[in-house]
Amino acid sequence: MCTEIIAGGYYAGDRMQEIGNIPTSQDCMNKCYQDERCFAWSFLPNLKLCYPQFSVREQVKDANYMSGSCIDVKLKVPVCTEIKSGGYYAGDRQQVTGSVSTPQDCMTKCDQNNNCIAWTHLSSAQICWHQTLVTAWVNDVSYTGGSCL
């Protein structure tokens, strides 16, 4: 079951058809969990509207919303282990704040982020990116990457 409930914001992402007359955030979260296409949800309590989502990106602060992600229980392996030198997975990338010195550290940070399903590390600049979408592998000797799927 999905368990994340965040008050005061929502995840940006592609929404599915809104569902009306949903009494609580828990009910909205359960609707998302029951739909195999849903990976996040947002809920407007005052309107009793639920918005299941196909994709998950950055968090947006908005006091009107409650939200959550189900990526960690629907897709992710319990512990990320894949480290592949010489490339990265294409997809959306969000840079991790601060310096991340090794690919292992980047992977560990991805593991600790419920929405991260892949990661990319550029050792020469000590930069780490997290991803919520994974497509094809891109060969590039400058990078190390991995998937948590």
Query: Is 1 contained in some domain?
Result: no
125-145 pLDDT tens trace: 999 999 988 888 999 999 999
For 110, the token pair is 């991805």
Model pTM?
Answer: 0.66
What range does the domain containing 137 cover?
84-147
Residue 92 has what pLDDT? 86
Residue 62 and residue 102 in one domain: no
Residue 26 and residue 46 in one domain: yes
Residue 3 has what pLDDT? 86
The domain boundary residue, chosen from 55, 74, 93 = 74
Residue 114 has what pLDDT? 83
Residue 77 has what pLDDT? 83
Split into its structural domains, the chain has a count of 2
**Where do the H-state alpha helices sit in the chain?**
25-34, 71-74, 103-112
Residue 57 and residue 101 in one domain: no
52-79 pLDDT tens trace: 998 888 889 999 999 999 887 777 788 9
User: CATH number of the domain that 31 lies in?
Assistant: 3.50.4.10
Q: Where are the beta strands (DSSP E) in 15-83?
A: 40-44, 49-53, 59-69
Residue 7 has what pLDDT? 96
Residue 58 and residue 93 in one domain: no
Residue 54 has what pLDDT? 87
